[in-house]
Chains A and B, each alone.
Chain A
Amino acid sequence: MITEIAPAPDRVASEPARPRRKRRAWDEVPRWHIYLPLSLYLLFTLVPFYWILLFALRPAGSTSLVPWPMTFDHFDKVWNERAFATFFQNSVLVGIATLVMTTLVALAGGYALARFDFRVKKAFMLALLCTQFVPGALLLVPLFEIFAKLQMINSLGSVIIAETVFQLPLSMILISGFIRNVPASLEEAAWVDGCNRFTAFRIVVLPLLRPGLIAVGSFAFVHAWNHFLFALMFLSDQGKQTIPVGLNTLMSADSVDLGALAAGGIIAAVPVVIVFAFIQKWLITGFSAGAVKG
């Protein structure tokens, strides 16, 4: 998900939802032109979700199409026997650490890009964009060697650093866009009132960046939570692994325990679903707000 750059319409990050204006032309769309394709697509979206719930909740061997009688045995099994409790903890740690590091580092860099002209700025921007073409997956071997030298193999730190690094460029581009949308004059007014740069930033700019920061932070979290290869490569100790690796282990077993796999999948999905529900309303505005706007 590193590569998600949004288009760049001209809006300010903090602008409230625009008042709904009547759109006469488009209001004439016949209702079934909306509901029919939408329902079909929803079917495609929701059946897989239903399917995994079904497998997670019905007893092993059942072929019923409703999860009844309902059982939580599968959850019990993955959580305790298959060590998903540990994986979950590790994933939470990786996700939150990545979120914090990405946001802080990107905020500092984004501010510099938005508010200063300095000598290497152009080169730095170009480097940021170039990283979008660098596939983390293809750098596994040199990255492994670096972390081996740093004695960080089998430590969550390696995964946190790797996730942060690949999340940074896009986050920084986005955040600098958000900051640019906050008029510099607001800050300057605060300086005149005696604030130093940092305080002015903290009281004037930071509150206005909230929607954008929430979007960037959630991407970082979701990305780190979901990503698989770094954890697979850098963490060999079972007690250190994360949820995606645990799911992969379940899937690559000789005879796949479908119930356990489904329950593990649900455990993997819960945090991102919560984050998603939380940021949903910021997603569209956050994206349309700053993005790659120049």
Chain B
Amino acid sequence: MAQAAAVAKPPPPPRRRRASAAPRRLPYLLIAPAALLMLGFIAYPVISVFYYSLQNYNPTKPWRNGFAGTENFVQIFTKDPQFWDTLTFSAKWVFVEVGLQLLFGLALALIVNQTFVGRALGRALVFSPWAVSGVLTSAIWVLLYNSQTGITRYLADMGIGSYGTSWLSDTSTVFPAAIVADLWRGVPFFAILILADLQSVSKDLYEAAEVDGASRLKQFWHITLPHLKDAIVLSTLLRAVWEFNNVDLLYTLTGGGPAGETTTLPLYIANTSVDAHNFGYASALTTVAFVILLFCSIVYLRLSKFGGEQK
């Protein structure tokens, strides 16, 4: 991402336009609306989260409000098993989701990158869940997992699974059930991005490899994969952050249940702030989540040597 800042247009254009003073102020005027919006509605909330994290702040218990120092953080790390449970679940959720989405997305992109009859239609259909919202995904899978009339009932007719319980209300099936629902919507994201990147692999490389007698598997391994590497690193990272933060699907699909089995850290935070009104504690949890995310992202970018080869 350093390249983004370092881009100064290739050959510096002749600066003959310096005559008027306007261009000097112009860039600031142009970014002003965006900067103001982001300051007011992202930066300020973030700062207030940091501030509240050091406070006891609960509108329903005003007599306890006040400076708390590190009290909230001590509580999180030493006395809150739910924090560790939800953090573990979040990690598991992100890891499994992103891993499977990448795997299927890559396979799918490679397939629809071939030339075959019906490709345009195939692409459109395969990508279509991408546009579907988390809530709608939940609605669809609630219908599918419904115990009376869902697809699980028909599967039970065929001897797969059992009658009577929804996969979403059984602690042993809820994780895979939720994973599949989110995969349905998440795989197209990777497929689209990887397919876009595949468009720019030089065909000459394949032709040269062909001449040298390299097998398709070898071509994939030595040409396609290295080419895709940066795209894969970046999209998995962004997707991981997104999967970690996103609460739409689990909130509406399982509500974090049954028995808190599918509560992610952000869901726990939302419950703490919205239901329990414990804003101070929720802010401290948010701060911890930020730090964890940032740390993991930096480690991930370092380990994967992102953008290493080109520069």
Contact = CB atoms under 8 A, between A and B. Distances in A.
A10 B111 CA distance: 23
B139 A165 contact: no
Contacts of A292: 1, 4, 234
A166 B40 CA distance: 12
A88 interface: no
Contact of B294 (A20, A133, A145): A133
Contact of B114 (A29, A49, A136, A222): A29
The prevalent SS among residues of A at the interface is helix
B4 to A, nearest CB: 5
Interface residues of A, number: 122
A233 B273 CA distance: 12
B177 interface: no
B140 A45 contact: no
Contact of A276 (B6, B48, B131, B193): B131
A206 interface: no
B114 A228 contact: no
A11 interface: yes
The prevalent SS among residues of B at the interface is helix
A66 interface: no
B37 A168 contact: yes
A152 B46 CA distance: 20
Nearest to B9: A184
Contact of A226 (B43, B133, B247): B133
Contacts of A142: 44-46, 48-49, 52
A294 B4 contact: yes
Interface in B176-220: 184, 189, 192-193, 195-197, 199-200, 203, 206-207, 209-210, 216, 219
Nearest to A126: B5
A6 B140 contact: no
Contact of A26 (B17, B114, B127, B246): B114
6 contacts: A5-B235, A6-B193, A108-B30, A135-B266, A141-B283, A277-B124
Interface of B: 1, 3-9, 13-14, 17, 23, 26-28, 30-31, 33-35, 37-38, 40-46, 48-49, 52, 104, 107-108, 111-112, 114-116, 122-136, 138-144, 146, 149, 151, 154, 184, 189, 192-193, 195-197, 199-200, 203, 206-207, 209-210, 216, 219, 228, 230-231, 234-235, 238-239, 241-242, 244-248, 251-252, 255, 266, 269-270, 273-274, 279, 282-283, 286, 289-290, 293-294, 297
Interchain residue pairs A-B with the least CB separation, the first 3: A294-B3, A9-B200, A226-B133
